[in-house]
Structure 1
């Protein structure tokens, strides 16, 4: 199914939301960027532009989706989360700040929900999960627009709204892609939801299949960590027992670190846990001579059987200078 059949707003050839030159520049109360590391992020995150551009796109996306729709107030207890989770556990401090802003300024931007197809009389959120959590925390009703959406439309809107508003980290996007595939969505739907090409989606899903999800969850979103670093960890996880690494993350002094710091801790620990391979050794026995020769890339050892040839070792020592001179002479040196 083509993307234009999944969603009601127009798109250009690259899949970006068409902007409205007359759109409002109103601020979005309660919408603030996460407090994330200033370190470079992965390649996908870098392509999404500045924060102000993201918020503009998010505002325009929501304006097009919600314009002309009736805004109603719903009891948060009657709204279920999306059937596909797109984020790892949120930073508690960021969540508290978000709830405080909603409490002080109110909810100016409604969330988008649909009638829950699995349970009559209940709703299911398409986007606005953080605003929904804030309303639950504040024990107040949430402003929402209700639309009929099928599963494909919901996940595409969910993914695109997240990309436009606050970037998911690389590993969150990869998990979202893998979860969509687990839900039997076709690749073209996953591509539309994440707004990346087919090759990028394949790499995301491959990573999740190779790296233990329990370890990913324990590390967290790691917004400053891109694909190459995660692929490096996935390769190391094949060589070491990752369960002790997972257990180490629960230690008090590690749990308080940022998710990017936890990632680096796991990466360093995995590298240290790799046992160096013993050099391959070739053992030779010389016929009629009580000597065993052991050879590796780094050198050769001659072992004399003292029981069979007592004193032969001392004889060889005495002949070493003469033997080495013959060796050098043969080499022309």
Structure 2
């Protein structure tokens, strides 16, 4: 009976109704879904990798633009191919620099370029003394790395020297001679040293006349100045002058003296070998220039323009004095302009 009753009940209920489809989860329910630990860790790793990739891209862009300041092992950095300073680490100022970096760190970064001939190495445009100080202290050097041509490197080198600690006359002369020997044109030399043509001629004339060993023996002599270095350049040409200078440079008292004192000792010794020549006699005043009076005095030569001179002549001559002196010095130093 039970079986018959069950069949009857099924027939009375009709066809079986299909089960309703499961409800789709709402967005809120999806948002509340908690991922497993492995999935969450993978998401964090991907985010970190993306951030590191973006950081690396920014760093690479900054390096290309010369904006990033990096810490570089001093052992991987080579000096500039163009010598400028005669003594970079033998003066009291360098010792003060080392002490300052040791106490407060390196505040101003140096400028490097990727070494053109050695992969993985760098070359200094400027900052040789800070590089030496970092190497001495055993710490990385803070540097900006920028791709530079040879010309851009020496111009940056010269500009930094002029703005931070200017070179002495002989250091500038040696720097100019180094650049000329490397084949740089005069325009690059003028830009690197911010020098006009007549001054560049003097630099090169002095650098050619005085042997490098004598320059190094004397040192930068910052107080000597252009006229005295030019006098020394003339004095070394006398017969036997270099032998006298070499003997002097070997003396312990000479080596112990400051650079400016060493310069004075050499110049005085060479003037004994070749006394200064007497000044040439002034040419006679040409006919028609009777309105200019010339007289020799103990302290020099006096030119006087008389009242009988044509109107405006005095102003005209004064306006030409600088040009005439520059032309005279250029001709005297070798005729280059």
| TM-score (normalised: structure 2) | 0.60
- Tell me how far 1:207 sits from its aligned partner: 1.3
> Helix, strand or coil: the match of 1:145?
strand
Aligned match of 2:60: none
> Helix, strand or coil: the match of 2:175?
helix
Q: Is 2:252 aligned against 1:252?
A: yes
Residue 87 of structure 1, aligned match among 85, 88, 95:
85
- Tell me how far 1:187 sits from its aligned partner: 0.5
- The CA distance in 2 between the partners of 1:137 and 1:98, in whole Å, is 11
Residue 128 to residue 276, structure 1, CA distance change in 2 (3 Å): closer
- The CA distance in 2 between the partners of 1:94 and 1:164, in whole Å, is 16
Aligned match of 2:233: 234
Determine which structure has more spread, i.e. the larger CA radius of gyration: 2
Aligned match of 2:74: 76
Between the two proteins, the alignment pairs up a number of residues equal to 213
1:252-291 aligned at under 5 Å gives the runs 252-274=252-274
Aligned match of 2:201: 202
- Tell me how far 1:68 sits from its aligned partner: 7.3
- Tell me how far 1:95 sits from its aligned partner: 2.0
Aligned match of 2:99: 100
- The CA distance in 2 between the partners of 1:120 and 1:216, in whole Å, is 34
For 1:71-96, what per-residue CA distance to the aligned partner results, in whole angstroms no more than 9, with x for missing partners?
11000000100011100013343322
- The CA distance in 1 between the partners of 2:124 and 2:217, in whole Å, is 26
Unaligned runs of 5+ in 1: 1-64, 278-333
**Contact preservation (8 Å) 2:66, 2:144:** no
- The CA distance in 2 between the partners of 1:168 and 1:122, in whole Å, is 27
Aligned match of 2:141: 142
When you count helix as a share of all residues, which structure comes out higher? 2
- The CA distance in 2 between the partners of 1:270 and 1:183, in whole Å, is 31
For 1:280-324, what per-residue CA distance to the aligned partner results, in whole angstroms no more than 9, with x for missing partners?
xxxxxxxxxxxxxxxxxxxxxxxxxxxxxxxxxxxxxxxxxxxxx
Aligned match of 2:165: 166
Relative contact order, higher structure (CA 8 A, sep 6+): 1
- Tell me how far 1:177 sits from its aligned partner: 0.2
**Contact preservation (8 Å) 2:190, 2:197:** yes
> Helix, strand or coil: the match of 1:84?
coil
**Contact preservation (8 Å) 2:110, 2:144:** yes
- The CA distance in 1 between the partners of 2:94 and 2:86, in whole Å, is 13
**Contact preservation (8 Å) 1:159, 1:194:** yes
**Contact preservation (8 Å) 2:66, 2:146:** no
Residue 121 to residue 263, structure 1, CA distance change in 2 (3 Å): same
1:1-333 aligned at under 5 Å gives the runs 69-90=67-88, 91-241=90-240, 242-274=242-274
Residue 126 to residue 213, structure 1, CA distance change in 2 (3 Å): same
Residue 238 to residue 198, structure 1, CA distance change in 2 (3 Å): same
**Contact preservation (8 Å) 1:218, 1:246:** no
For 1:118-156, what per-residue CA distance to the aligned partner results, in whole angstroms no more than 9, with x for missing partners?
111100011111100000000110111110000000000
Unaligned runs of 5+ in 2: 1-62, 278-337
